[in-house]
A and B are shown apart, each in its own frame.
Chain A
Amino acid sequence: MQFQTRSTSDEVEVRLNGRLEFTDHDRLSDIVGLLDGQRARRFTIDLSGLEFLDSAGLGMLLILQEEAEQRNIKLTVRGPQGDVKRSIDLARIGEIITIEP
């Protein structure tokens, strides 16, 4: 998985590409680090470029949600497509995290 970051005054957007899976735990630490030192109150994870999401990757999204909550930052997941959307729907993650089309 690779990611790019874009920041504005009120939002940090992280765009994920490739596959988010059990071999990506180290990248999770990097993304959690983006929650610190930001004045923005909104944190958006853009999945529109992601091709594959496994159960471990879903767990990472939940960890990001908890880490954002602890910092009083609103986390939103945006744009899951195809197989990634299937994983999110199967796990009913939308009941916990705000998912935007």
Chain B
Amino acid sequence: MEPASPHLRPFCVMWTRVPDETRARIAARFAMPGFELSGFEPADPAALPSWADALLLEQADRDRLREAFDRNPFLTVELGEGGDEPAALREDWTGAPAVEPGFYLSLTTGTAYGLQCAVLVCDELARRGGLRADQRSNVELCLHEAIANAIVHGNLGLSSATKNQPDGYRLFGQMLRDRLEDPAIKRRRIDIFCRWNAATVAIAVVDQGGGFDSGAAPAAVGGKARSGRGFVFMRALASRVAVTDGGRCTVLHFDL
């Protein structure tokens, strides 16, 4: 990769030297049920490159993420204030196969909130040839809903039931502000994994919250319910929706 701006740290990282926590998330997500794509079966490990292009950002914002994506990294990881230490990158790794085409983005919740991540990710999918223009709108809405759920109900741990109380929307807004000011909560990660082939594009959104009972997610919401329509949108517009990891991971498939 070309020399980076001071806030970007590009490098080729040996798969055997990715920090355990990050490696485990990548390996688990790209191999997770429902996220495999035909044509992307595990390759002969000996035939895979032993390294991947990676970019670390001390603190992400929209411009820095676009600048990072322009360098075509496979891994884009925001370290975040008080979060993972850069030194962790020199710790032991156990190896994970690179998958192409695809990309992985890991942001702290404090950054992901208000960043319009779905727009950024869809821009990048389109730029790398993984998203047709006529599919963009539906993919972006579904991805936005998955990310919003991961942030609000996952990492911030807020229940929409709060909105149904008298004056509940004010209480919900206050709770949201309070949680976004909690450093430990702001550091929780939102991971977004994308891969595609000629037949389909798959996107996984993973949070570090308490999970939820995916069976309780409504297939349809009617009447005056103030919440619950995010899954209705996803199920209406995506080819397939899978929820795994006790509700911490939503995988969206869109057939091309």
A binding-site residues for B, Cβ under 8 Å: 19, 21-23, 25-26, 28-29, 32, 52, 54-56, 58-60, 62-63, 65-66, 83, 86-87, 90-92, 95-96
* Bound Cα distance from A14 to B114, whole angstroms: 23
Cβ–Cβ < 8 Å partners of B169 in chain A: 25, 28-29, 32, 60, 63
> Known contacts A26-B173, A63-B169; is A54 also within 8 Å of B141 by CB?
yes
Sample of 13 further A-B pairs with CB below 8 A, known A54-B144, A86-B141? A21-B148, A23-B114, A26-B177, A29-B170, A55-B229, A56-B227, A58-B229, A59-B160, A62-B224, A63-B163, A63-B169, A90-B229, A91-B233
Which of B114, B144, B152, B236 has most A Cβ within 10 Å? B144
- Residue in contact with B173 in the complex, picked from A29, A58, A66, CB distance below 8 Å: A29
Within 8 A of A (CB), among B135-186: 137, 141, 144-145, 148, 151-152, 160, 163, 169-170, 172-173, 176-177
Answer yes or no: B89 CB below 8 A from chain A CBs.
no
* Bound Cα distance from A90 to B141, whole angstroms: 12
**Pair A23/B113 contact, Cβ less than 8 Å:** yes
Whole-angstrom distance from the CB of A80 to the nearest CB of chain B? 14
In the complex, the chain B residue whose C-beta lies closest to that of A82 is B137
**Pair A83/B137 contact, Cβ less than 8 Å:** yes
The 8 A-B pairs at the shortest CB distance, nearest first, are namely A55-B229, A25-B173, A59-B226, A55-B230, A22-B148, A23-B114, A91-B229, A63-B169
Pick 24 A–B contacts, CB within 8 A, sort by A.
A21-B144, A21-B148, A25-B172, A25-B176, A28-B169, A29-B173, A55-B227, A55-B230, A59-B227, A62-B224, A62-B226, A63-B163, A63-B169, A65-B224, A83-B137, A83-B141, A86-B137, A86-B141, A90-B233, A90-B237, A91-B229, A91-B233, A96-B223, A96-B224
